[in-house]
Amino acid sequence: MKRMMTILTASLAMTSFTGSGLAAEHGEAGMMIPKQEQQEMVNIAHRGASGHAPENTMGAFQKGFEMKADYIEIDVQMTKDGELVVIHDTTVDRTTNGTGKVGDLTLEEIRQLDAGSWFSEAFTGESVPTFEEVLAEFHGKVGILVELKAPELYTGVEEKVADALIDRNMNTPNNNKIIIQSFNHESMKKSKELLPNLSHGVLIGGSWADVTEEQLAQFATYADYFNPTMKIVTDELVSNVHEAGMDIYPYTSRSSEQALRLFDLNVDGIITDYPEHIYTHPVKNS
């Protein structure tokens, strides 16, 4: 995959994006990655720039774009009436002023909810976006890492996502600006069959700390990315993932120190709430 050259920096060095007070707020003042340690890295804004704006809202995605992330990561679920919406939890309770399961609410009911004021009064009135809205606004501007959230709850969600991408001609070969991932690995097998030209990833929790080379080889039959919790990332794991032919994008970095550790482990990308910890430069064609 063609990657983006990046320099991992402390937030203090990125005041043009986030304001001079951010580094002090997070206890990272003065921290800098030596120039000789620069390497290829991909910057993924987790649920958008969710350290700066309410997660999985258009405001967070726009912030991630403005902060020059390579990808915005989004969570896709399905409403009672079969519409695709972008929200992380399987209920609306935590990130909106409503209650109930996403799958028990219609799109109209979900669209009436305030998805921003819990984060800050400045974001009052932010709504839960639809998958189509995110595609329409950000495709071509920034890569989109699409997580199918709890697809086992939503019969046919893989087909719905595939149809939306195909309708927009976003299923073309070598389109590395769209990646699909999930903790549900059977769902990823199904999605890969529907969208064979798109890259797919398996999300991995802590229980996979002792994943074997044989298991990695099996994942590699349908996945291009092995994306684990950063807690289990080691030199050996990164090496084994690369040997299996996959890239590795750990989640979720929330400090420069955490990003630096992942950087030193030679991962391929970092999923982060704070994109300013990774400063992106495009690769120049030779």
Domains in the chain and their CATH numbers? 42-280 (3.20.20.190)
pLDDT tens digit sequence for 30-68? 344 444 343 479 999 999 999 999 999 999 999 999 999
Whole-Å CA distances, 35 to 7, 10, 14, 46, 67: 8, 13, 16, 26, 21
Supply the mean pLDDT for the chain.
Answer: 87
Catalytic residue among 26, 52, 88, 277: 88
Is there a catalytic annotation at residue 200? no
For residue 252, cis peptide bond before it (omega within 30 degrees of 0): yes
Long-range contacts for 21-28 (Cβ within 8 Å, ≥24 apart)?
Answer: 22/276, 26/255, 26/256, 26/274, 27/255, 28/255, 28/256, 28/257
Classify strands 278-281 and 5-8 as parallel, antiparallel or unpaired: antiparallel
Catalytic residue among 26, 46, 200, 277: 46
Specify the higher pLDDT residue, 34 or 226.
226
CA distance 279 to 18: 12
Whole-Å CA distances, 179 to 22, 70, 74, 157, 285: 30, 12, 11, 16, 23
Alpha-carbon torsion angle 126, 130, 133, 134, nearest 10:
90
pLDDT value for 279? 64
Per DSSP, helices labelled H in the chain are 15-18, 21-25, 58-66, 107-111, 131-138, 157-167, 185-194, 213-219, 235-243, 256-264
Is there a catalytic annotation at residue 88? yes
pLDDT value for 15? 34
pLDDT value for 26? 40
% of the chain beyond a pLDDT of 90: 80
Banded pLDDT at 176 (limits 50, 70, 90): confident
Lowest mean pLDDT among 45-59, 182-196, 202-216, 267-281: 267-281
Enumerate helices (H) and strands (E) in the chain, giving the number of each. Answer: 10, 11
46-56 burial by CB neighbour count: b if 16+ within 10 A, else e? bbbbbbbbbbb
> Which DSSP symbol is given to 165?
H
